[in-house]
Chains A and B, each alone.
Chain A
């Protein structure tokens, strides 16, 4: 009976100790505060990688402990990492294409760097709003802006003549 019990126990699933779950919960809440705090500091272009790094630590805690990857067969973590590799290939190759396209053909990138045509009317109304500072009037303006936006969205797009650099 005792031997059958021990065989049974070896097949039992891993039961994570309670303090591990509480620890992860605490760590995730602290890291959420860290994410918010770090974002208030202007690091320029570094803000994005720092935010992604903190988010990845949090995601790692959720995946490894809450999703039991650290206790499970290694196969599952390899599966997850494989999907992340494919995701990286997807995003990086798209970025290669879309961020370097203008080096071959300037006019392809030009419309992306210009503002959409239908903003012209909105900008004029927004400037009026800025000078007038009349909030009672703003509601009517919004409706006017919406109809203008819709009437102009089918207007032919002019290629901006301004150079890129």
Chain B
């Protein structure tokens, strides 16, 4: 007992105001979860926006979602789910002191995030090229000719660009944070006792995946 307490106290990454590593880790986790809850409520406003319009005008969503390429959306879903898996594996590796495996998994996660953004870039540029834009910028005549029954399609694309845009911004933030984690991992900063930053990055990245799991069917499929 005394030996472990000594080990725990002596860890170079233990901040002076914490009693032991476990307490420090739990405090970080509580703070991270509280942040994630504010993120859920943050996106909640946009989900509210979606559901209100969906209930007021269901035909708008059925018609306008045909404009989105579900194959590209599905590809992005698979990419994000796989990156969630790799970040979970990165945490598992560092828990076992396997720093190289952890670094490889983090690098794969970053690569997946870039694939997601590249696919998103192609989707956005096609929309901008067709004039399928939010608000009064909407001027996609081909859409109007093909869907004469759909009223106010600009509302759907306002929702689409707000939700995927905010989500995409979270993906960019995730890339920056995970790249920093990768740098610190390569500098041997983490071990099986101190890996809280990687676990918090993992929690954040899972939340980004979790929101996309809802966005994909709501926007692309139905």
A and B: partners? yes
Binding site for B on A (CB under 8 A): 1, 3-4, 7-8, 11, 13, 15-16, 18, 21, 24-25, 28-29, 32, 35-36, 39, 45, 47-48, 51-52, 54-55, 58-59, 62-63, 65-67, 72, 76, 79-80, 82-84, 86-87, 90-91, 94-95, 98-99, 112-116, 118-119, 122-123, 125-127, 129-130, 138, 141-142, 145-146, 149-150, 153
Q: Are B152 and A149 in contact (CB under 8 A)?
A: no
Number of residues in B with C-beta < 8 Å to the partner?
65
Q: Are A15 and B37 in contact (CB under 8 A)?
A: no
In terms of DSSP, what is the predominant structure of the interface of chain B? helix
Give the distance in Å from the alpha carbon of A142 to the alpha carbon of B203 in the complex. 45
Q: Are A36 and B1 in contact (CB under 8 A)?
A: no
Q: Are A63 and B206 in contact (CB under 8 A)?
A: yes
Residues of A within 8 A of B25 (CB): 13
Give the distance in Å from the alpha carbon of A23 to the alpha carbon of B203 in the complex. 19
The 3 closest A-B pairs by CB, nearest first: A39-B221, A126-B144, A51-B217
Q: Among the listed A36, A112, A130, which residue makes an inter-chain contact with B70, where contact means beta carbons less than 8 Å apart?
A: A36
Give the distance in Å from the alpha carbon of A32 to the alpha carbon of B85 in the complex. 15
Residues of A within 8 A of B136 (CB): 116, 118, 149-150, 153
Taking the closest CB of chain A, its distance from the CB of B163, in whole angstroms, is 14
